[in-house]
A and B are shown apart, each in its own frame.
Chain A
Amino acid sequence: MDRIDRAVSDFHSMEEEARGKGWLQDLNPLTKLFCTVFYLVILLSFHKYDLSGVLLMGAYPVLLFTLGRIPVRPMWRRMALILIPICLVGIANPFFDRTPVSAGTPAITGGMVSMVTLLLKGLFAVSAAYLLMVTTTMEDLCRALRKLHVPAVLVTVIMLVHRYLIVFLQAADKLTDAYRLRAPGRKGIHFRQWGSLAGMLLLRSVDRADAVYQSMTLRGFHGEFPSGREKPFTRTDLAFISITVIASIIIRYL
């Protein structure tokens, strides 16, 4: 499976999961957004040597994955993408910070501890964002953003990009497949075709944008999509926020 196919497949599986039934999916999107951001702020505020504190913060994704029956496997693929730059930055720490922090042999250095802490922070941060997106549809998230007074222009463009993303990914996939069939054994697009290949896709996009504009105007578009049915704020939301906030503060400061 190539990069575009994988992106299409990931997109569909996340959408399917977010539209599924479950207590996490039923939570108010604002609750999930707030808890994710709060968790991330607390997680990133840990000192680079505070490995045990960061490890304890792993309770949030572990509990949500198990309680919410969220599949973990799709997340690991995403993880590889994000862990590579983190490793590149973190790998230097053991070389530059050789202060021993343990009495045993071989001595464990501050750099080793800070590198592991950094990797764990990356792992848990991606898990938290993944949990948000795998339990919340983009429409619900956009509604939450509007409630937070994020400008309508941005929210509408988010919805449009999300809606057309799959169309263009499939168009790009067809285009590259057709190219591969005509140029067997060639890795990537030859430089002589760089301009025409992406340029044709771009011209089609502009034409499509015009058609989209015409149809949106005919349907009475005035700068913002009408918001659909909202998920209510229930006692479960209150409990979820309280537990997340209190537990995070206890782990961070006590």
Chain B
Amino acid sequence: MHMADALVSPAVAGVMYACSAVAAGFSIRGLRGGDLNRSIPLMGVMGAFVFAAQMINFSIPGTGSSGHLCGGMLLSTLLGPYAGFLTMTVILLVQCLLFADGGLMALGCNVWNMGFYGCFIGGFLIWRAFVGKAPTRGRIIAASIVGSVVSLLLGAFSVTLETLASGITELPFAVFIRFMLPIHLVIGLVEGLITAAVLVFIFEARPGLLQGGGPDGGGGRMKAPAVLAILAAATLVTGGLLSHLASSDPDGLEWSVEKVTGSTEVEGGGSVGEWAAGVQDNTALLPDYAFRDSGKGTSFSGIFGALVVLALCFVIGLLLRKPEVKPETEGEGG
């Protein structure tokens, strides 16, 4: 479900960064009430654990395929929703930077789609509703499955909205959602079962580690109305802004330029502009195969020109780079 940079527009990326930053700020404030110095090493090590555990393939019986555990839900049940969300944020950042799993600009979207829903909805609200203060094997299994499925479906729904609002795909909303939700329902079920297996093992081996009895004890202090309030506000902000951004209005950069120049595009003009236009007319390649003037912002000549520029950049780079200094081989001069 990791979104790549190419799937989001700057405006959507900015909105989702803002939403995730609010949730992170809220989590940091919530954590300050506990023993922060003790929570930090636990968050770091648990983050590395989830990272490594997500690399393990758990085979799904009868399918020949495999799945992995739901990190947000697991972290939230062990560390509490605040520390869980912050740890999940860090995992997603490291995944994006080191392994290109998700984009840097799409990080806000990914934190929201996987961290927020997994930690606050699945790992806190649903976990609390099902397990409460009296965990049993059956309740843990039910909470893990329902929590994972709901988190995954909400995440998939958000991915659909964010991609459509960015104007990236021509897929109609109904088709896109019909494609996304069934797949993530199955993934959610599998992730829920794996997460349940791990949590049941922990419950039987060391029950004190589960939420409420964890080392930071932060999980039990958060009030459900606070999470619901955040969720409601975020839904309003996300839904409202994203639906607005999906309209034909200019994007953030175009809007800024429009405010300065009165137009979404900077017009080239003057004698230099005319001269350049003349040169372009005389040197245009493939003139009979140019794109129609449909305002689509591209042409074969333009594409060819861009490719020539890229080739030139490559050659210039090769010519300008400093000669490589080869290390002296051992034994020389000795």
Contacts and interface: CB of A to CB of B under 8 A. Distances in A.
Interface of A: 3-4, 7, 10-11, 14, 23, 36-37, 40-45, 47-53, 55-56, 58-59, 62-69, 78-79, 81-82, 85-86, 89-90, 92-93, 95-97, 99-104, 108, 110-111, 113-114, 118-119, 121-122, 125-126, 128-130, 132-133, 141, 151, 153-154, 156-165, 167-169, 171-172, 175-176, 186-191, 194-199, 201-203, 205-206, 208-210, 212-213, 216-217, 221-223, 252-254
A237 to B, nearest CB: 18
B104 A129 contact: yes
Contacts of A199: 197-198, 201-202, 205
B6 interface: yes
Contact of A10 (B49, B59, B98): B98
B93 interface: yes
A137 to B, nearest CB: 11
B104 A37 contact: yes
Nearest to B303: A52
Nearest to A42: B253
A201 B202 CA distance: 11
- 5 residue pairs, one from A and one from B, having the closest CB atoms: A160-B44, A66-B317, A188-B59, A52-B302, A199-B201
Nearest to B299: A52
Contact of B52 (A41, A45, A108, A165): A165
Given A45-B254, A222-B37, 5 more contacts: A126-B103, A176-B56, A189-B57, A196-B201, A202-B78
B224 interface: no
Contacts of A161: 44, 47-48, 51, 87, 90-91, 94
A94 to B, nearest CB: 8
A150 to B, nearest CB: 10
A48 B66 contact: no
B13 interface: yes
Interface in B152-187: 163, 167-172, 175
A163 B230 CA distance: 33
Q: Give chain B's interface secondary structure class.
A: helix
A111 B170 CA distance: 8
B46 interface: yes
27 contacts: A40-B104, A44-B6, A50-B297, A53-B302, A56-B309, A78-B100, A92-B170, A96-B170, A99-B294, A102-B290, A103-B292, A111-B170, A114-B170, A118-B6, A126-B100, A157-B43, A160-B41, A161-B91, A189-B58, A191-B60, A195-B201, A198-B53, A202-B202, A205-B45, A205-B48, A212-B45, A213-B38
Contacts of A169: 51-52, 55
B23 interface: no
A57 B93 CA distance: 24
Interface stretch (B114-122, B235-243, B318-326): B318-326
Nearest to B102: A82
Interface string B64-92: 10100100000000100000001101110
B197 A191 contact: yes
A175 to B, nearest CB: 8
A92 B7 CA distance: 13
B307 interface: yes
A195 B200 contact: yes
B209 interface: yes
A59 B300 CA distance: 18
B15 interface: no
